[in-house]
Each structure stands twice: as C-alpha cells, then as structure tokens.
Amino acid sequence: MSLKKNSKVSRTVILAAVSMIAVIGVWLFLTSVLRIIPPAFLPPPQNIVIDFLRILESPYVGHTLVGHTLVSLQIVLGGFFSALLIGIPLGILMGWFKRIEAVVDPLFQLLRPIPPLAWIPISLLWFGIGVQSKIFVIWLSAFVPCVINSYTGIRLTDPLLVKAALGLGVKRQQDLLREVAIPSALPIILGGVRIGLGSAWMTLVAAELLASDAGLGYMMQMARRALEPSVIILGMLVIGILGALMARGLRALENRVCPWVKEEEH
C-alpha cells in the first residue's frame, strides 16, 4: 500500500514538473527564439529572473522584494486569520441555533452580495490609509466563505449521528455541537478556509492600491506606471507561489485533521 502511494505521489510530481517545464519552454520559444510576442507585451523568462535578482538585492520603489512580500503577507494573514476567528464561530452558531440564524442571517444575506472591493471607499473613511483599511478589505473577502461553509457543514450534520449521541447519554445542545456536529462538519469548514485563503490573495492587489507605499500590489502598480511588465509578472508569480504553498499547507492540515476524507476519496 505504501509503495503504491509513493508511486502515485512521484508520478504526480513528475507530471507537474513536466507541465511547468513545457509552459516555460513554449514561453521562451515564443518570446526569445521566434520573437513573435514583443517584450513590452510578454517579456521572456530570463527578464523575470534578472529583475528577481535585481529587486532581491536592491530596493524597488522603497523596498526589496522580501520587504514588499512581508508587507503583503502581513495584510493577507491579518485579514485571513481575522476572518477565521469571526466567520467560523458565527457560521457554526448560525447553523446550530435557529434563533441566532434568525437574527444574523438577514443582515448577512444583505451584505453578502456586495463585492469586497466596493467597501474600499468606506474602509478609507473608517480606518484611514494605513494597514487597517487593507486588512479590513481582505477580511471581508475571506469572511463570507468561512461563514457559508461553517453554516452548511453544521446544517448537514447526519441526524443518525445526533440520535446515536443522544442514545449514549449526550443531552445538552452544547455537548452535541462540540462532540458531534463540529467534528462532522470539519471537512466542509476547512474547505471554506481554503476558499477564504484564495479570496484573500485575489483581493490583495486591489487592497494595496489604497494609498500604499509597500507591498506586492503596490510594486506591480508602480511597475505598470514605469512600463516594466517583467516586474509585474514577477509580482504575480510571487503571489501565485505563496498562495499555492499556503493552500498546500491547508490541504496537508485537512488530511491530518480529517484523514477519513482522504480514505473515502480513494
């Protein structure tokens, strides 16, 4: 079983590596060999590597690449973890207690369709042009999927599990929630966490347009003004890599916390 699993993992890694090499090869061939695509539209891969080494050592619009990345991570993680701390408990309580759902759900359904970017002007009025306004916009983007998935996971609790717990002597609603509903809903809740993380990264660039002086989104915006597409693509790649690594980390956490889900998939 272990050999079969290792073989499947190695095959997946090989296919992923081959696909990445193929994309870079086609990109290099079109931009550097045939030169069908002009550098102003899509710079060749070596230009991105050169800019990566340059910005890694020397500041670009005030900060090195590491400095811009750390600022963006502070904003993303601040908004993301705030969304987890508020959104998951709220969704669980809405799904389990009908009175809380009756009070909160109308307001949530009213605010839910509003895009996070539409909150940018009022976030500036509330929090000013500092980091708080950007974290607030990121929080909104991650908050909604955390609430929805937590609520859905609790509502989908198998009634047979509840009856079994009642038969074993678990009587209080709080105990049923803690010992039955939340463990049952955990895979769906963690799915909402992964969706929220993706939403946070997708909102980052727009959030950093709020009178920023650092961050990957700010770096990309300044590169656009300076007509440096290679720096823009570099910023996009850093965001993509960080987002993918964090998503893989959440997937690994889900496999550890909910191992039965992975077994059911096989």
- Give the mean pLDDT of 199-222: 87
pLDDT in tens, 92-131: 999 999 999 999 999 999 989 999 888 988 988 888 877 8
Look up the CATH architecture of domain 44-265. Answer: Orthogonal Bundle (1.10)
* Res. 3 pLDDT band, cuts 50 70 90: low
The pTM of this model reads: 0.86
Cα separation values, 29 from 37, 45, 73, 231, Å: 10, 10, 34, 20
Residue 234 is predicted with a pLDDT of 95
Q: Please spell the DSSP secondary structure of 244-259, one letter per residue.
A: HHHHHHHHHHHHHH-H
Among 43-47, 146-150, 252-256, where is mean pLDDT lowest?
252-256
- Give the mean pLDDT of 32-60: 91
Residue 169 is predicted with a pLDDT of 72
Residue 74 is predicted with a pLDDT of 94
Residue whose pair of structure tokens reads 């539409």 in the numeric block: 118
Which tokens in the block code for residue 185? Answer: 């809903």
pLDDT exceeds cutoff 70 at 266: no
Tally Cβ neighbours within 10 Å of residue 158.
11
